[in-house]
Amino acid sequence: MSTPPLTGITVVSLEQAVAAPFATRQLADLGARVVKIERPDGGDFARHYDTAVHGTSSYFAWLNRGKESLTLDVKSAAGRAILAELLDTADVFVQNLGPGAAGRLGLDAEALAQRHPRVIPCSITGWGSTGPWAHRKAYDLLVQCEAGLLSVTGTPEEMVKAGISVADIAAGMYAYSGILTALLRRATTGEVTPVEVSLFEALAEWMGAPAYYAACSGRTPARTGARHATIAPYGPYAVADGTVLLAVQNDREWQRLCADVLGDAALADDPRFATTSARVAHRDELDAIISARLRTLTGEAATALLDGAGIANAGIRDVAELADHPVLAERKRWHDVAVPGGTMQALRPPVDLAGIEPVMAAVPALGEHTETILRELGHGDRIADLRAGNVV
């Protein structure tokens, strides 16, 4: 197997929660050395969201494999001096501190450019480092609200949040791709390009389709539960022994559904249903026709009929059933990863690079690598004093 592509790249990250750890974990999976700086008095607060994975939170176990944990009080002069030594050897510095904190610590892009000109700084903020909301805190659900996601998620009667930290994940993905782009630019031009991502602007980008629909049509997409807001038929339907979700994306598929599944080819030309817009406008009538047919079939029979007609469909699984999904099992996507107190099954990264295995190393205990890193920096004889002073 080939050497992981980011071998030799060192990332120092002053990170917590989800967005920054998600970005840096992906860098670690590609072979980068990621030094995660944590507070000595408890570390990344995401360690304690729950205790599901051998006492470690499910969030932390998901986001922090392959990293080295260094406890460090960066508010102390001694801690900042050690951080500066780390940055002298680093390629990337990532932080998602609270509003203004990076500047107060001398860790904003401008200060880093003067003191550590080779380091690519990546800042993940809530609302941007400038602008009227730069001073405000941001958490995932707050961003979902402000980006309009809740207005299009849920049922007509009730809006709901996304079931995962979608704003954090979006920002983490853009930070990850931004860092890779900046590394490539530095490698090809020698120029160091700061990277900045805000949770709000990342999620606003993901809201592009409903936002453009509302701006250009004058109508906000309706909340339609598990049904698609602007395409029909596209959603769940009851069968004799459960539920099947089917999706028709174009008129050709609609015609096949009518002929091969509903047994009524003439229905395809009914003016109420002949186009996507017409089907959405008459969704309740359409759903009644489809439901009447599918309720006579078992899930297995309905799936076979839909597959035969070339109509995309799926079962509806819960999260626990994901672990046993045949696609993940047969494609060998689960791998053992060590966590403090045991091991867990973790999904390998979704991007496969031919001939390269992802690193997927252990999830660190709090401060597990502190002594090793301090000795590398030449502070082996100071460790006891640094601990006594709560610097590490």
Catalytic residue, from 44, 91, 140, 168: name it. 168
Judge whether 29 counts as a catalytic residue.
Answer: no
Q: Tokens 């109508």 label which residue?
A: 219
Count Cα atoms within 13 angstroms, Cβ side, for 386: 24
Nearest to residue 54, comparing CAs of 298, 338, 346, 390? 338
Strand order in the sheet with 67-71: 67-71, 33-38, 10-14, 92-95, 120-125, 195-198
Residue 159 burial (10 A CB sphere; 0-12, 13-18, 19+)? middle
**Helical residues (DSSP H) of the chain, grouped into ranges:** 19-29, 58-63, 77-88, 101-104, 109-115, 140-146, 166-189, 199-206, 208-217, 251-256, 276-281, 283-294, 299-308, 319-322, 326-330, 370-376, 383-388
DSSP per residue, 208-251: HHHHHHHHHHS-PPPP-TTS-SSSSSEEEEEETTEEEEEE--SH
* 166-189 vs 19-29: helix crossing angle, rounded to 10: 50
Catalytic residue numbers, as ranges: 168
